[in-house]
């Protein structure tokens, strides 16, 4: 697999920490010191498929390809307005092509799971050009009277077009069933035959401290295993692009690895946690800023509900 082009799109509305003080008892000082977040972009009158399509168009342009060149679209997404048809099908219509489309929900690690599927399709010669897009609106998952979670998230979309190549050097996926620390149930219709009470719509439930511990240990394990898989050393790695969940999680991983902080790229200060879209958005920003040089080794590492992790080592 090789990444041929990147793209991203954020909603137009900026929500600063100070603006949040009108909804609940919080402060910029609390939010920035505990999470690193100063502001996030949240959807107002936009639709998620439009953001996703914008990111996809950019990735296609950046790759120098047309939508008709695509053989597959894989969309990573947790919450969408539609249960069916999935977001990938609607994005396909917006970018005006006709290849098969599938949706994957791997929570915050979903983009890496989607990349692993793209790699498998390419290896089996089922496809030559695949669009992998992660589009998320976690601002619609939280309870806006609950300060513990509402301050953490922002919305956005990130996309890559991948084709045949040897950029991907190693990949690690893991899932360990740990439901209680991070979950959200959805409303489902009841039937005359139900013996259990139907789910009421619920918002995202999170044990922040448990998630923190799981994220740090899982990501460190993945990074060490990727390095061993490729027989590389930490000093060979130029860039770490980790899921932008929380600056303190990223700082803790960096500290435990005794790594140079400047290698751990962050945009969470501006975007908040955009779930599985966070890594492709960050990747697109670094790519457009010219920070990724040919030959550079990058580690991408994501962690989230499941508890699932996905990491990969790329040579740009």
Catalytic residue positions, numbered: 108, 243, 273
- Helix residue spans in 70-192 (DSSP H): 87-95, 110-123, 147-150
Instruction: Tell which positions 190-209 bind ligand ACO, by CB under 6 A.
Output: 206, 208-209
- Count, residues near ligand ACO per rule CB under 6 A: 24
Does 181 help bind ligand ACO (rule: CB under 6 A)? no
* Phi and psi torsions of 307, nearest 5°: -85, 125
Sign of CA dihedral 253, 258, 264, 266: positive
Stretch that binds ligand ACO, among 73-81, 143-151, 158-166, 260-268 (CB under 6 A): 143-151
Q: Does 238 bind ligand ACO (CB under 6 A)?
A: no
Which of 88, 101, 152, 241 touches ligand ACO (CB under 6 A)? 152
Tell me the window of 25-33, 50-58, 128-136, 288-296 that interacts with ligand ACO (CB under 6 A).
25-33
d(CA 190, CA 162): 42
The answer to whether residue 34 forms part of the interface with ligand ACO (CB under 6 A) is yes
76, 77, 246, 276: residue in contact with ligand ACO (rule CB under 6 A):
246
Q: Is 182 in the site for ligand ACO (CB under 6 A)?
A: yes
Identified binder of ligand ACO from the candidate list 106, 304, 306, 310, rule CB under 6 A: 304
| Cβ-count burial 32-41 (b if 16+ within 10 Å, e if not) | beebbbbbbb
CB of 154 to ligand ACO, least distance (A): 11
- Binding region for ligand ACO (CB under 6 A) out of 28-36, 47-55, 86-94, 122-130: 28-36
Dist CA 272 CA 65 (whole Å): 31
What is the residue whose two structure tokens read 């050009």? 129
Residue 125 within binding range of ligand ACO, rule CB under 6 A: no
Give the single-character DSSP code of 98.
-
How far out from the chain centre does Cα 143 lie? 21
Tokens (6 digits) for 72: 């597959």
Give me the sheet containing 156-163, strands edge to edge.
2-9, 156-163, 129-136, 72-76, 101-104
248 is a contact residue toward ligand ACO (CB under 6 A): yes
Output the six-digit token pair for 184: 């959200």
Nearer to ligand ACO, 129 or 243 (CB): 243
CA-nearest of 298, 244, 294, 302 to 274 is 244
Q: Which residues bind ligand ACO (CB under 6 A)?
A: 26, 30-31, 34-35, 108, 147-148, 151-152, 182, 206, 208-209, 211-212, 215, 245-246, 248-249, 273, 303-304
């Amino acid at each position: 697999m090789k990444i041929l082009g990147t793209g991203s799109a954020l909603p137009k509305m900026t929500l600063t920490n100070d603006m949040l003080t009108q909804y609940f008892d919080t402060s910029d000082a609390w939010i920035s010191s505990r999470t690193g977040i100063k502001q996030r972009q949240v959807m107002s009158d936009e639709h998620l498929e439009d953001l996703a399509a914008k990111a996809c168009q950019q990735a296609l342009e950046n790759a120098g390809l047309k939508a008709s060149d695509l053989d597959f679209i894989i969309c990573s997404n947790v919450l969408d307005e539609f249960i069916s048809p999935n977001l990938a099908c609607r994005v396909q219509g917006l970018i005006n092509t006709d290849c098969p489309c599938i949706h994957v929900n791997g929570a915050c690690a979903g983009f890496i799971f989607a990349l692993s599927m793209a790699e498998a399709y390419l290896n089996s010669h089922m496809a030559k050009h695949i669009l992998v897009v992660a589009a998320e609106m976690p601002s619609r998952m939280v309870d806006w009277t609950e300060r513990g979670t509402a301050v953490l998230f922002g919305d956005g979309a990130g996309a890559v077009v991948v084709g045949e190549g040897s950029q991907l050097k190693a990949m690690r996926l893991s899932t360990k069933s740990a439901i209680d620390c991070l979950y959200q149930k959805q409303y489902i219709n009841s039937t005359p035959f139900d013996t259990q009470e139907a789910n009421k719509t619920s918002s995202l439930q999170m044990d922040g401290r448990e998630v923190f511990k799981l994220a740090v240990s899982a990501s460190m394990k993945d990074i060490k295993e990727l390095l061993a898989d490729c027989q590389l050393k930490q000093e060979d790695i130029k860039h770490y692009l980790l899921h932008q969940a929380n600056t303190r999680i990223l700082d803790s991983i960096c500290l435990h690895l005794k790594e140079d902080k400047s290698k751990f790229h962050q945009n969470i200060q501006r975007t908040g946690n955009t779930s599985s879209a966070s890594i492709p958005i960050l990747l697109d920003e670094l790519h457009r800023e010219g920070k990724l040089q040919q030959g550079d080794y990058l580690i991408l590492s994501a962690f989230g509900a499941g508890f699932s992790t996905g990491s990969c080592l790329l040579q740009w």
